[in-house]
Structure 1
């Protein structure tokens, strides 16, 4: 058995009215294939281009090691010059990824290469974020702390995206007091005997190519795997659903600080307890 995933709908182009009516209001994902062809970035942005203008910048790197109690929230696992990192991406598979890299802060000239699309949502201007990954590197299944509406623009190579909406959380082995599922679940090829609740989950899948845009609605779980080395940029708009907005405030103001405090107080026991609780709670509510 495999995960129950349907293909994310695709359109070539979209108007603001079509986007709001067909995807934002019902909170459904969509891939827009020709959304950014008028951006200079569509033609310019590649790993080589980023290396040429940002090669000397030291960047934070993350891999797929399990969360450690000594790690702070989003603490990097390594650092490297961007030029060396891109050389590594092109040379061999690596688990090292960059995520939440603020390009406006680091390389202001890159903001001349894109514009903020008029989609009827107020996109946050200050935090366009870049994400890089090597062949077969991946993020853990997670949702974003602010439960934002996200436009994810992909550049160079190919990337697999698996999504679930919040209604599927009970089947995903969510870790308490966090934004991730069990890290030992391989969403590329999950063991459904070991993780039987996943048989009930219904999600979405797509493969993004250069220049394609994925809209992820508020609070959607997402797992991203780089089929080939590449990078993406995200623009976001705050959650409009009051329930999601209040959950975002709770995550930012309370949850992450509570989790960090418990890591300091209880150490690895806290991590181990959360991992075990994810299984117990999931199986209990499904009578497994």
Structure 2
């Protein structure tokens, strides 16, 4: 039995008015297929170009290992020269990913290749973030710490994106004091016996191809899998709902520091405690009886 997923709506292009009225105000995801068609990046952005302009940059890498008490919040697992990393992506499958990296800050030349979309969101110009991954690599399901509205652009290859609205959180086994679900859930092939609440979750799905943009409203859960090696860029806008702005401030200035403190104090028992609590709370809230 697969997850209950509906294809995300797609449009070729949208006016500012339609984007705001039809998607931002109701907080509804959409794929805009042709938004980047007049960007230099549409023709230029591929692995060889990135290698040529940013090959000497040392980049932080993440893999799919479970969260450990030894790791700080969002701490990288390794480093590599961008040129070596691109070679690795093209040579063989790898779990190493680049995640939330402001490569544009390190290589200002890249700023010339894209345009800031004028579609009604006040985008944060200091934070164009890049993401890279090899074939089959996955990003654990999570929602963003700052509750941003996100414009997620994909380049080179194909990427599968699964989203869940914030109101689906009760079914997703959210880990306390964190932005993630339990990491032993395989969202490609979930174990409904162990995680029966997932059967109630209603999600959205799309496969992004080169140049396409996915709008992810604030607080949306997202799981990403690279169907082929590729890379993406996210542009962000602050939350428009005051309650989400308060949640963002709490996450950034209180939650993540508390979690780091508890990891140092309690070690792996803190991680294990949170994972166990995620299971118990979800089943108790939904009245699910398990062995």
Give the TM-score of the pair, scaled to structure 1. Answer: 0.99
Q: 1:237 & 1:228 partners in 2: Cα distance? A: 28
Could you tell me how far 1:215 is from its partner in structure 2?
A: 0.2
Q: 1:191 & 1:46 partners in 2: Cα distance? A: 36
Q: 2:26 & 2:156 partners in 1: Cα distance? A: 30
Residue by residue, what CA displacement relative to the aligned partner does 1:161-213 show, whole Å, maximum 9, x if unpaired? 00001100010000000000000111011111111000000110000000000
Q: 2:235 & 2:96 partners in 1: Cα distance? A: 22
> Is this contact kept in 2: 1:103–1:129, CA < 8 A?
yes
Residue by residue, what CA displacement relative to the aligned partner does 1:206-232 show, whole Å, maximum 9, x if unpaired? 000000000000110000000000000
> Is this contact kept in 2: 1:156–1:231, CA < 8 A?
yes
Alignment of 1:82-161 (within 5 A): 82-161=82-161
- Name 2:197's counterpart in structure 1: 197
Q: 1:251 & 1:60 partners in 2: Cα distance? A: 23
- Name 2:11's counterpart in structure 1: 11
- Name 2:67's counterpart in structure 1: 67
- Name 2:169's counterpart in structure 1: 169
| Structure 1: runs of 5 or more not aligned | none
- Name 2:35's counterpart in structure 1: 35
Q: 2:53 & 2:220 partners in 1: Cα distance? A: 33
- Name 1:280's counterpart in structure 2: 280
SS at match of 1:6: strand
Name the Cα RMSD after superposition.
0.6
Give the TM-score of the pair, scaled to structure 2. Answer: 0.98
Q: 1:208 & 1:273 partners in 2: Cα distance? A: 36
> Is this contact kept in 2: 1:104–1:126, CA < 8 A?
no
Q: 1:251 & 1:37 partners in 2: Cα distance? A: 36
> Is this contact kept in 2: 1:132–1:232, CA < 8 A?
yes
Q: 2:197 & 2:28 partners in 1: Cα distance? A: 23
- Name 1:253's counterpart in structure 2: 253
Aligned length: 288
